[in-house]
């Protein structure tokens, strides 16, 4: 969350630190570095492509660590992901089981089964729809989760397990959907978000 000054941020930190959020105490601390939004406000913003830098750093660390070409591990958002080398899977030249160079290529895989009829596509809107919410989820908890996003207006829970979250406009709602869809509400349940009908 972004505040106008350090005093307001400190007051929020003291008020919210330890607050029980979905059965777990919140741990709140100051940010380690300036966000792009704050940098834009104070005129020090420099665009940076963090993903590209992360890819280069991961590639360099894989080379220096001497990772095998068949499988290298890469970190995306804190999770270890195994990356298979397609050439190693196909079998290199001279390896046992490799197809001779004059052999015909293997037959193509069978076509995938026909897809199930698509559900009615919901157009982007300024309202997000949350479903399958756990019973302990209430308006205050959802408001705390969504109010960190610009353009947030309100949360409405018409009945248990369902909620509507309204934003000022569709672009702000889209940013919140991308950031929070799949958010872990409990150890077994995640936030399922779609666009609501305006």
Q: Which tens digits make up the pLDDT trace of 24-78?
A: 777 777 677 767 777 777 776 666 666 567 778 888 887 776 544 444 444 444 4
Domain tally for the chain?
Answer: 1
For residue 178, is it within any domain? yes
Q: What pLDDT score does 68 carry?
A: 47
pLDDT in tens, 112-138: 776 655 555 678 899 999 999 988 888
Q: Please indicate, yes or no, if residue 138 is contained in any of the structural domains.
A: yes
191 burial type by CB count under 10 A (0-12 exposed, 13-18 middle, 19+ buried): buried
CATH classification of the domain holding 136: 3.30.70.330
Position 170 in a domain: yes
Look up the pTM and report it: 0.43
Flag whether 142 is in a domain: yes
Asked if the structure places residue 120 within a domain, the reply is no
Res. 152 pLDDT band, cuts 50 70 90:
very high
Write out the residue range of the structural domain in which residue 179 sits.
127-195
Distances (CA, A) of 152 to 55, 115, 136, 166, 172: 33, 36, 22, 6, 8
């Amino acid at each position: 969350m972004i505040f106008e000054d350090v005093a307001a941020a400190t007051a929020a930190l003291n008020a919210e630190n330890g607050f029980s959020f979905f059965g777990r105490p919140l741990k709140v601390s100051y940010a380690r570095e300036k966000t792009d939004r704050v940098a834009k406000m104070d005129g020090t913003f420099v665009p940076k492509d963090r993903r590209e830098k992360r890819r280069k750093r991961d590639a360099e660390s894989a080379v220096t660590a001497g990772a095998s070409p068949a499988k290298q591990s890469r970190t995306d958002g804190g999770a270890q992901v195994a990356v298979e080398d397609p050439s190693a899977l196909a079998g290199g030249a001279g390896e046992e089981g490799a197809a001779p160079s004059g052999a015909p290529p293997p037959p193509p895989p069978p076509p995938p089964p026909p897809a199930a009829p698509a559900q009615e596509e919901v157009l982007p809107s300024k309202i997000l729809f949350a479903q399958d919410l756990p019973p302990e989820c209430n308006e205050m908890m959802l408001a705390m989760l969504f109010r960190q996003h610009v353009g947030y207006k309100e949360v409405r829970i018409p009945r248990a397990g369902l909620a509507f979250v309204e934003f000022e406009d569709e672009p702000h709602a889209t940013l919140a959907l991308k950031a929070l869809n799949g958010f872990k509400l409990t150890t077994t349940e995640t936030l399922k978000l779609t666009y609501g009908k305006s």
